[in-house]
Structure 1
Amino acid sequence: MMKKQILKHAKTCGDNECCGLIIDNKRYIACKNIALDPQNNFEISPDDWVGAENQGEITAIVHSHPNGLPILSQADQLFQKQTKLDWWLVCHNKIYQFNAIKPLLGRDFKHGVDDCLTMVIDAYMLTGITIPNYERQDNWWNKGQNLYLDLLPINGFYQVDDIQEGDIILVCLGTKVPNHAAIYIGNQMMLHHCPTRLSTRDLYNGYWLKYTHSIWRHKAWQPSAFMAILNNMALNLN
């Protein structure tokens, strides 16, 4: 019911971006877009925001891209970082949900919470592709497990011989099985998160290239989706 209300509201706004708020994860409140350029931006009326707060907890922000891409823009991601809320986006009569996450760059490492798999899951979520999170113990690669080779094929990935932006690079760090994942971001660069280091960009050469196990691509990958990852990195380039 709530999603039907959101789609109906977006349709009635035509070429202007709709905007609204979700209360308590179960009720949608349509809001007035007071942006000066409503076809390309949105700004929720302060009165509507206060009114929504009086009705419950605001759990997500909704807006639409009537003539745009089904990803959050750089400005969207900046404001999402400030609100610390989930954002829902209407585009092409579909609803895309984007969880509130830490910026991809500059994360502290904590295995099983903020590690290389978390990086991949969050980055792909920004592109509209869902990868389930898996409970994992540290040092699983020395305990007879092969997490990445088990995980990727059942979640829509297939192995490739070339490399393009958005591909996942699997690396063997002192092991026979791949125990590290990075995302290729073009220009011989990769995005990844290693233990004892903040998440960062590195040149994909030398050590990383030498110990690469394989390259993987998602069957639903669209080149335009990569802009969502770039938009996020622009929030906190290091």
Structure 2
Amino acid sequence: MRKQILEAIREHVAAEYPKEACGLVIQSGRKQVYVPCSNIHEEPTEHFTISSEERRAAEKLGAILMVIHSHPNVPQLIPSERDRVQCDYWGIEWGIMSWPDGDFCTFSPRVDRELVGRSWVLGFADCWTLIMDYYRQEHGINLNNWSVDYEWWADGKENRYDDNWQSEGFVEVPAAEMREGDMIMMQIQAPVTNHAAIYLGNNIILHHNSGNLSTRVPYGEYWRNRTVRVVRRKELMDA
């Protein structure tokens, strides 16, 4: 990290304290520049969110190299699991500065994270991101990211599973013909389809349920009664 970039981060972090400061390091021509951003999170002393508008504005200035934020009033500067999950999601290096101590650390995205044992972070580590990672890791299939960091299913006005599964290349198959690699779409305590799991065979599913660790569990009566449909990627129809 270049000295002038680190100093610009330090000044921003100090000015935003006790809130978490956030910003982006970009490559603008031959120079690296720190772009301070506004923290729009509802709890700015505990978390941070950079708006999509500020991200796009920064991208117009140059390639984003690093996401920066601060940890106010911490006894030791250690990236949280939420930090690491979001770093995985962004796909670029992250930097954190503690304040008022002024310590600084960086870390990189993890490649091919374990599918089981993930902490729940809505919008970054949830049922759809697990589905995405499963198909990428196991079948080399890339899906679009439909995860968002709010409970889109709560009022029934959004239907991210039902509206998008066909455009993502899935075809409905009879539940009786379900086989390994199929996606099981479910409706759990919501007015719309809001959950999905991967069938692993032998009556076992892989899923990431709200507030829990991702896990493998039997496809028992609870999950069967909440199943809306079973779908299969077109590439796997004749596999």
Answering whether residue 197 of structure 2 is matched by residue 182 of structure 1, we say yes
Aligned length: 128
Identify the residue that residue 105 of structure 1 maps to in structure 2.
116
In structure 2, relative to structure 1, the CA distance for the partners of 1:156 and 1:206 (3 Å cut) is same
> Which residue of 164, 171, 178 maps to 2:179?
164
Q: Deviations over 1:138-193 (max 9, x none)?
A: 22112411101122100110111131100000111112311011000000010000
In structure 2, relative to structure 1, the CA distance for the partners of 1:105 and 1:223 (3 Å cut) is farther
Contact 2:129–2:147 (CA<8 Å) still a contact in 1?
no
Identify the residue that residue 213 of structure 1 maps to in structure 2.
228
The answer for unaligned runs of 5 or more in structure 2 is: 1-87, 92-109
Structure of greater Rg: 2
In structure 2, relative to structure 1, the CA distance for the partners of 1:223 and 1:189 (3 Å cut) is farther
Q: Does the residue aligned with 1:202 lie in a helix, a strand or coil?
A: strand
Q: Deviations over 1:1-41 (max 9, x none)?
A: xxxxxxxxxxxxxxxxxxxxxxxxxxxxxxxxxxxxxxxxx
Identify the residue that residue 141 of structure 1 maps to in structure 2.
153
What code does the residue aligned with 2:136 have?
M
Q: Does the residue aligned with 1:220 lie in a helix, a strand or coil?
A: helix
1:116 shift after superposition: 0.3
What code does the residue aligned with 2:189 have?
G
The answer for unaligned runs of 5 or more in structure 1 is: 1-83, 87-98, 225-238
Q: Does the residue aligned with 1:118 lie in a helix, a strand or coil?
A: helix
Runs (4+) of structure 1 moved beyond 3 Å?
A: none
Contact 1:165–1:223 (CA<8 Å) still a contact in 2?
no
1:216 shift after superposition: 0.7
Q: Does the residue aligned with 1:191 lie in a helix, a strand or coil?
A: strand
What code does the residue aligned with 1:131 have?
L
Contact 2:124–2:148 (CA<8 Å) still a contact in 1?
no
Q: Does the residue aligned with 1:113 lie in a helix, a strand or coil?
A: coil
Contact 1:105–1:198 (CA<8 Å) still a contact in 2?
yes
What code does the residue aligned with 2:170 have?
F
Taking structure 1 as the reference length, what is the TM-score of the superposition? 0.50
1:137 shift after superposition: 4.0
Taking only the aligned residue pairs, the percentage that are identical comes to 36
Q: Which moved more, 1:128-137 or 1:201-210?
A: 128-137
Whole-angstrom CA distance in 2 between matches of 1:184 and 1:165: 5
In structure 2, relative to structure 1, the CA distance for the partners of 1:184 and 1:135 (3 Å cut) is closer
Identify the residue that residue 168 of structure 2 maps to in structure 1.
155
Q: Deviations over 1:102-135 (max 9, x none)?
A: 1001100001000000000000011111101135
Whole-angstrom CA distance in 2 between matches of 1:103 and 1:222: 26
Whole-angstrom CA distance in 2 between matches of 1:169 and 1:154: 16
CA RMSD of aligned residues (A): 2.1
Whole-angstrom CA distance in 1 between matches of 2:237 and 2:172: 16
